[in-house]
Amino acid sequence: MFSYSVNAAAVEQLTDPTRPANYQAVAAANGGLSSLKLEQIVSSASRRFAVIDGQKVKIGQQVGQYEIVDIQPKEVLLRQSDGTDIRLTLFTHIKK
């Protein structure tokens, strides 16, 4: 029993080796939304959806406490229940 709890604690401390080195800085730039990561946007005449934290979402669906309001080719607009809008953009960590 003891070895299981030690192993579980060790696993929880591991980080994703593919995560960008500046991931936290990018999240803070998006208003501190470290828990939301925009991974993909598909926008065409016949379909429009985004992938946020591995979840495929469409306009009108919920992601945590946010509603998906709009999906554009490079950004997704989310709205909190209090009316606050949040924009998630693709490739915010890439500097020109």
Give DSSP secondary structure letters for 24-86. HHHHHHTTS-TT--EEEEEE-SS-EEEEETTEEE-TT-EETTEEEEEE-SSEEEEEETTS-EE
Q: What is the set of domains in the chain, with CATH numbers?
A: 21-89 (2.30.30)
| Average pLDDT along the chain | 75
Task: Name the residue among 64, 91, 96 with its Cα closest to residue 80.
Answer: 64
- pLDDT, tens digit, for every residue of 22-62? 444 344 444 444 578 899 999 888 999 999 999 999 999 99
70-84: average pLDDT: 92
Give the pLDDT score at 59: 96
For residue 41 the two structure tokens come to: 């946007």
Tell me how crowded residue 29 is: count the other CB atoms within 10 A of its CB.
13
Are the C-beta atoms of 70 and 59 separated by less than 8 Å?
yes
Q: How far apart are CA 86 and CA 58, in angstroms?
A: 16
Note the pTM of the prediction, 2 decimals. Answer: 0.60
